[in-house]
Amino acid sequence: MAEKKRSAVIDYLAYLAVRLLVCVIQAFSFETACRLANLLAWVLYRVDQRHRRVAAENLQKAFPGKYSEAEIDTIVRQTFRHFCTVLIEFMHLPRRFHLHNYRQFARMREGRRLTEVLLSGRPMLFVTGHFGNWEMGGYAMGLFGIRTHAIARPLDNPYLDEFLRSFRGRTGQKLLAKHGDFANIDKLLAQGGILATLADQDAGKRGLFVDFFGQPASTHKAVALLALEHNVPMVVIGTPKLDGIYDIWAFDVIDPQDFAQSRDPVREITQRFTAGLEALIREAPEQYFWFHRRWKHQPQERKKKKEKPLAA
């Protein structure tokens, strides 16, 4: 079935509306904009019942018996508030976050792990998830002089896509298309570059099922395959806000050379970075994007072969 042709006029009007919104938000002080974010979160919590229900169900799966219904509801409210605030922070980043004042907003955690990999001369793969403020992490890396290429799905609206690319690229971060940019990805890693990807989305029926909060979760195996093919160390990284400051946390370093004798290195690497993301999320569960159906697909049960009846 052919795709419906997009209207350039509608796309451009949507782009202008977003640009206008960004300008208005940037005109406010950061404190005022955050108050607006709290108001938006309050409205979304009451209006968006579907995502509110999905978030509650996901939290119950992830933390069975740990939280009461009232406590889960509180975390869902906090999750709405967190991501509305993240949106405001993203709009204000270029004006507030600079090399001379970065310590007011972010700090490196386990930075030695990151430094050792950077100095090794090998390519590098940052693996993160929809947790904390991942845009802050990418922006900060570029600000510190660490040039990264992020894998992302291009927006359907070409004007908005170009605007987002220019916004992210202000500190040197570049975007590569999730589909169709494999040649550039291979070239980048072959030249010792740094690639960043979000690795916590449901991968469908054909994904690799690994444990995530005690539940089988369909996970993209391309991340592990890239690491093995190009011998790329993987840095599991998260950006939670703790004590009012974002921690750019290099939680784990996974070297594919350590899995040379493994019978199933793809599964073991995928499980390890997934476990790392889970450990990060447990530090601040209200800062994870529980609105996504992470456990949407489950392994299909193997059908038992029907036993043939014994001949009389």
Parse the chain into domains and list their residue ranges.
8-287
- pLDDT the model gives residue 3: 58
- pLDDT the model gives residue 168: 74
d(CA 16, CA 139): 24
d(CA 209, CA 219): 6
SS3 at position 212: strand
Q: Is the pLDDT of residue 90 over 90?
A: no
220-229 residue pLDDT tens:
999 999 999 9
SS3 at position 258: helix
265-303 residue pLDDT tens:
999 999 999 999 999 999 999 999 999 999 999 998 644
Q: Strands, DSSP E only, in 166-303? A: 174-177, 194-198, 208-212, 215-219, 234-238, 241-242, 245-254
- In percent, the amount of the chain with pLDDT more than 90 equals 62
Confidence of residue 23 (pLDDT cuts 50, 70, 90): very high
Q: Mean of the pLDDT values across residues 304-308? A: 45
- pLDDT the model gives residue 96: 84
Q: Is the pLDDT of residue 305 over 80?
A: no
Lowest-confidence region among 32-36, 39-43, 152-156: 152-156
Confidence of residue 1 (pLDDT cuts 50, 70, 90): very low
129-186 residue pLDDT tens:
999 998 888 888 888 888 888 888 888 899 998 888 887 777 667 878 776 677 888 8
227-268 residue pLDDT tens:
999 999 999 999 999 988 999 999 999 999 999 999 999 999
78 versus 176: the higher-pLDDT residue is 78
Residue that is written with structure tokens 């550039």 in the block: 184
Query: How much is the mean pLDDT over the chain?
Result: 89
Most confident segment among 9-18, 103-112, 144-153: 9-18
Lowest-confidence region among 7-11, 61-65, 109-113: 109-113
- pLDDT the model gives residue 306: 44
Lowest-confidence region among 58-67, 71-80, 166-175: 166-175
Which residues, in sequence order, are CB contacts of 236 under 8 Å at separation 6+? 127, 128, 250, 251, 252, 253, 254, 273, 276, 277, 280
Q: Strands, DSSP E only, in the chain? A: 106-109, 124-128, 149-152, 174-177, 194-198, 208-212, 215-219, 234-238, 241-242, 245-254
- pLDDT the model gives residue 307: 46
Largest CA distance in the chain: 88
Write the DSSP symbol of residue 180: T
Lowest-confidence region among 17-31, 93-107, 161-175, 204-218: 161-175
Spatial contact of 122 and 231, defined as CB atoms under 8 Å apart: yes
